[in-house]
Structure 1
Amino acid sequence: MPFALLLLGLAVFAQGTSEFMLSGLVPDIARDLEVSVPAAGALTSAFAAGMVVGAPLVAGLARRWPRRGALLAFLVVFLAVHVVGALTGSFAVLLATRVVGAFANAGFLAVALVAAVDMVPADAKGRATSTLLGGVTLACVAGVPAGAVLGEVWGWRAAFWAVALVSLPALAAVARSVPGGAAEGVPPALRGELRSLRSPRLLVTLLLGALVNGATFCTFTFLAPLVTEVTGLGSSWVPGVLALFGAGAFAGVAAAGRFADRRPVPVLIGGGLALGAGWCALALGAAHPVPALALVFAQGALSFGVGSTLIARALYAAQGAPTLAGGFATAAFNVGAAVGPWAGGAVIGAGLGYRAPLWVSAALVSLAFAVAAGAAGAVRRREAAVGQSRYGTETRVP
């Protein structure tokens, strides 16, 4: 993999830490800013919602920008809003910083995904995607638990300061090593790219990604209270449990990078079945520390392995939209990241307890399978209709 791609992964690490670190900080933010735990969990949904809107919008605006300049601009904005977030005493202001930071993150990831696949051969999109998303999984392994430790020792604001500081070397790395200091040719016509994005295959893939990611974030956002209130482990265990989930995510993305280009169907079917079963098993065994911890690792691996494979398939399906594909893939997956925490917060707020998000996660994965089965059936019916039409035409030929 090109060295510049690894440096893009460093920036994604800083941004992934920001997106996920609230999983370990939600209780502290709720207490400090005097809001409920579900309300504090909505900060994750707000970030994801900002990425849903921002990714396609900013990708469209940045189509003709030099890639290096666009990446640097997004990183500067991202850094600045974390400084504001660390200083504010208002929940409303903190919520606003999450939305603005999400726009910057969305723009960066949209451009970075397109840049990443352009750095590798045409048949290596899966490897490029997994390398870039390795920054996200490392954020789960190291950044999120470190944020939780900082929150435990110095308060949740320290985690925001840490993200701002980690963004500084990422800025320098992108400025020095990422190609694209000048505009890289004339992009395809916007109308043609948008037409390509209406492909049924692409739309189904994006929907599946949204559902799987929704399942992931539904549980991950409330993993800290699950560990302390259901599993019965102390708050000092939270960073370790988050790191365990992140280690699984890293393993899942690494494995998917090997097979997403060559054998995507077995990864998606086998991994998806195991993922749905795993959420059910974790819901049933959450009160028992040993199986619960093992399942946290497994679910991290399966969630990110299946998710990164779906991103790669979306990029393959959107080859007619080279400048917008990353933005729409980012937006679709963050639909899940917005809906998942909202759904988890809703069932907790309804008094169903901290296991309830796990059952919602299982339901979302089941819905993904139903959508995939329906799409496969539609394809078979269409192929059969085409075959019958051809056969009928042939019989009428003298």
Structure 2
Amino acid sequence: MAEQTSTTPAAQERPQYSGKLLQAAVIAKPFQESIQEDIKVRKEHGKKAPKLVGILAKPSPPSIAYAEWTGKACESVGIEFEIWKTWDDSVVPKEGVEDADASLQNYGLEADVEDLILAANRDNTVDGIMVYYPIFGGRQDTYLQQIVDPRKDVEGLNFYYCWNMYHNVRWILPRDLGSAPGTTSEMQLSRNTAIDDGTVPPGYCKSILPCTPLAVVKALESSGVYDASLPYGDRLYGKTITVVNRSEVVGRPLAALLANDGARVFSVDIDSIVEFNKRVEGSENNSTEAGKSERVVRAHKENAAARLRSSHIVRACPYQDPKECISKSDVVIGGVPAASYKIPTEWIKENAVCINFSSEKNFEKDVRSRASAYLPAVGKITVSMLQRNLLRLVEYKEIRQSNE
């Protein structure tokens, strides 16, 4: 009778949550402790606490709440934090103002945000700048991202850092920070020097990476997805990962970072699926140059010889159904900002690791009945990565000043 009871439909339908529920606070804790200790040592040596400015474009409650939460997180580790707003708190916003602020035609708001960014760029007391996006979305936000001084860009959104990320340039010279892509000497060293343990070469420092993609990487390292027995830069070799989101701020950079570390990555977006893979040196052949101009072929060869080409390749995915991609993946990462979007638990491979970086939950409630581990949010890790980027930028500034 006991056997029959255990196999009733009701019992079969009851989800067994065997997978581990990961906590962002636990993963972030060692980074926060390290940041706090570094700032304590700075103060003991008579150096000032780093100062971060967060720029708020409009009075939307989620943005204000996130800015206030960031401020508390900074205060807890000893970072000075200020919120710069475009509006006067003493003036009550009129009905419909927020909708107008989101309009692509609101050139006045764009100018106000630009003025605040430029003021923070000039302010020698400001060490780091972050802007609460999205404001308009699309090209206007991209423009604002590019006018933030790369020497103060804690979010790693400036094109200089994007180029480094996509080309797997891990080490930079502090004096060259913000230079035009492919024109500085660190490119050759960073792609030619075999550094298996990730040790920074003498005279160099680590490039800044975008915070949320980096937070996901740290979560995967913490959960054991990265194989530390493999060489540095190949520790995801043999892993298949699906990222459901291909935004320029998180999804695409994350796919590139994971591919650069050796994973096969399926990048799923609203209208297409593409595959990211690490570029294998010398794998190109003449067939890829058919129909291209002589100048393009020559540039291709010159850049390949200098190892300045993108570290990964993007191509059409052999699967155009998200279910096929997800069912083959050791890791599934959700980032769709829509409450209605859910990845069916039945699609998930047994014992896969699932991570959600969207503000909405992209996984069904019973995801841990199949996943070996599930992380529902990465916000606290993201803030720790932002704080770490701030400390690195302060360090780089001090190195430049000591060499002047």
Instruction: Report the TM range for the smaller structure's normalisation.
Output: under 0.3
Between Structure 1 and Structure 2, the one with more helix by share is: 1
Q: Return the index of the structure with the highest Cα Rg.
A: 2
Q: Which has the higher contact order (CA 8 A, sep 6+)?
A: 1
Give TM-score scaled by structure 1 length. 0.28
